[in-house]
Amino acid sequence: MRIAIASGKGGTGKTTVATNLAYVGSRNGRSVVYVDCDVEEPNGHIFLKPDLDGATPVGTLVPKVDESKCIHCGDCGDICQYSAIVSVGDAVLVFGELCHGCGGCSLVCPSGAISEVLHEIGEVHVGSTGPLAFAHGLLRVGQAMSPPVIKAVKAAAPAADLAIIDAPPGTSCPVIESVRDCDFLLLVTEPTPFGLNDLKLAVAMAREMKLPFGVVINRADLGDRETHLYCGNNDIEILTEIPDDRKIAESYSRGELAGEVLPGYRRMFETLLGRIDLRAG
Amino acid sequence: MKELVVISGKGGTGKTSLVASFAALAEKVVLADCDVDAADLHLVLDPKIVRRENFSGGKRARINSDLCTACGKCEEICRFDAISFDGPGNGNADKTYCIDPIACEGCGVCAWFCADKAIEFGPVVNGEWFISDTRRGPMVHAKLGVAEANSGKLVSLVRAEAKKIAEDRKLDLVFIDGSPGIGCPVIASIGGADLVLVVTEPTLSGMHDMGRVADLTRHFGIETVLCINKWDVNEDITLQIEARAIGRGLKLAGRIRYDRAVTEAQIKKLSVVEYVPNGVTNDIRDIWGNVRAALDEAGE
Amino acid sequence: MKIAITATGANLEASVDPRFGRCACFLVVETDDLSFEAVENPNVALGGGAGIQSAQLVASKGVTHVLTGNCGPNAHQTLSAAGIVIVVGCSGVVRDAIEQYKAGQFAATGEPNVASHFGIGRRGGR
Q: Tell me the Ramachandran region of residue A83: left when phi exceeds 0, alpha when psi lies from -120 to 50, beta otherwise.
A: left
> Domains in chain B: how many in total?
2
In this structure, the answer to whether residues A162 and A229 fall within a common structural domain is yes
- Residue B116 belongs to domain with CATH number: 3.30.70.20
Choose, out of B8, B150, B203, the residue to mutate when testing the contact with A (most A CBs < 10 Å).
B203
In this structure, the answer to whether residues B170 and B22 fall within a common structural domain is yes
Q: Return the number of other C-beta atoms located less than 10 Å from residue B236's C-beta.
A: 10
Which residues is C87 bridged to in the sheet? C67
Largest CA distance in chain C: 37
A117 domain-assigned: no
In this structure, the answer to whether residues A209 and A264 fall within a common structural domain is yes
In this structure, the answer to whether residues B106 and B231 fall within a common structural domain is no
DSSP reduced 3-state for C1: coil
- Residue A13 belongs to domain with CATH number: 3.40.50.300
DSSP B234-293: -HHHHHHHHHHHHHTTPEEEEEE---THHHHHHHTT--HHHH--STHHHHHHHHHHHHHH
- How far is the C-alpha of C53 from the C-alpha of C47, rounded, in Å? 11
In this structure, the answer to whether residues B145 and B242 fall within a common structural domain is yes
The dihedral built from the CA positions of residue B67, B72, B78 and B83, taken in this order, carries a sign that is: positive
Q: Which residues in chain C touch residue B167, judged by CB atoms under 8 angstroms apart?
A: 123-124
Cα Rg of chain C (Å, integer) = 13
- Residue B238 belongs to domain with CATH number: 3.40.50.300
Task: Say if A193 is an interface residue toward chain B (CB within 8 Å).
Answer: yes
A190 domain-assigned: yes
In this structure, the answer to whether residues A104 and A228 fall within a common structural domain is no
Q: Which residue among C48, C59, C83 sits closest to A82, beta carbon to beta carbon?
A: C48
Helix B280-297, helix B15-25: angle, nearest 10: 80
The Cα of C26 is separated from the nearest Cα of chain A by a number of Å equal to: 18
Give A51's DSSP letter: E
- How far is the C-alpha of C54 from the C-alpha of C41, rounded, in Å? 7
- Residue A75 belongs to domain with CATH number: 3.30.70.20
A236 domain-assigned: yes
Give the closest residue to A165 by CA, choosing from A33, A26, A9, A28.
A33
pLDDT at A157: 97
Neighbour-count burial of B42, counting CB atoms closer than 10 A to its CB (0-12 exposed, 13-18 middle, 19+ buried): buried
In this structure, the answer to whether residues B110 and B133 fall within a common structural domain is no
pLDDT at A200: 97
Task: Say if A174 is an interface residue toward chain B (CB within 8 Å).
Answer: yes
| Nearest-Cα residue of chain C relative to residue B163 | C121
In this structure, the answer to whether residues B201 and B95 fall within a common structural domain is no
In this structure, the answer to whether residues B106 and B164 fall within a common structural domain is no
CB pair distance less than 8 Å for B162 and C117: no
pLDDT at B111: 98
Model confidence at C122: pLDDT above 60: no
Amino acid at B265: A
What are the pLDDT digits (tens) for B160-214?
Answer: 899 999 999 999 999 999 999 999 999 999 988 999 999 999 999 999 999 999 9
In this structure, the answer to whether residues A138 and A97 fall within a common structural domain is no
Helix C73-81, helix C50-60: angle, nearest 10: 30
- How far is the C-alpha of B166 from the C-alpha of B163, rounded, in Å? 5
Give B26's DSSP letter: -
Give the closest residue to A213 by CA, choosing from A174, A167, A259.
A167
Q: What subunits touch chain B, counting only 3 or more CB pairs under 8 A?
A: A, C
In this structure, the answer to whether residues A43 and A182 fall within a common structural domain is yes
Model confidence at B19: pLDDT above 70: yes
Choose, out of B3, B5, B140, B163, the residue to mutate when testing the contact with C (most C CBs < 10 Å).
B163
In this structure, the answer to whether residues B229 and B81 fall within a common structural domain is no
Find the domain containing A192 and state its range: 2-57+122-280
Find the domain containing B279 and state its range: 2-56+126-297
Model confidence at B299: pLDDT above 80: no
| Nearest-Cα residue of chain A relative to residue B210 | A41
pLDDT at A59: 92
Interface predicted TM-score of the whole assembly (ipTM), two decimals: 0.93
In this structure, the answer to whether residues B265 and B203 fall within a common structural domain is yes
> C2-102 has which CATH code?
3.30.420.130
In this structure, the answer to whether residues A233 and A257 fall within a common structural domain is yes
Task: Say if B255 is an interface residue toward chain C (CB within 8 Å).
Answer: no
Mean pLDDT across the stretch A219-242? Answer: 96
Going from N- to C-terminal start, the domains of chain C cover: 2-102
| Nearest-Cα residue of chain B relative to residue A104 | B109
Choose, out of B34, B105, B156, the residue to mutate when testing the contact with C (most C CBs < 10 Å).
B156
| Nearest-Cα residue of chain B relative to residue C123 | B164
Q: Which residues in chain B touch residue A252, judged by CB atoms under 8 angstroms apart?
A: 203, 205
Model confidence at C124: pLDDT above 60: no
> Domains in chain A: how many in total?
2
The Cα of B37 is separated from the nearest Cα of chain A by a number of Å equal to: 6
Last residue of a domain, one of B108, B124, B140: B124
Task: Say if B80 is an interface residue toward chain A (CB within 8 Å).
Answer: yes
Average pLDDT, chain A: 95
Range in B248-252, C84-88, C122-126 with the lowest mean pLDDT: C122-126
A62 domain-assigned: no
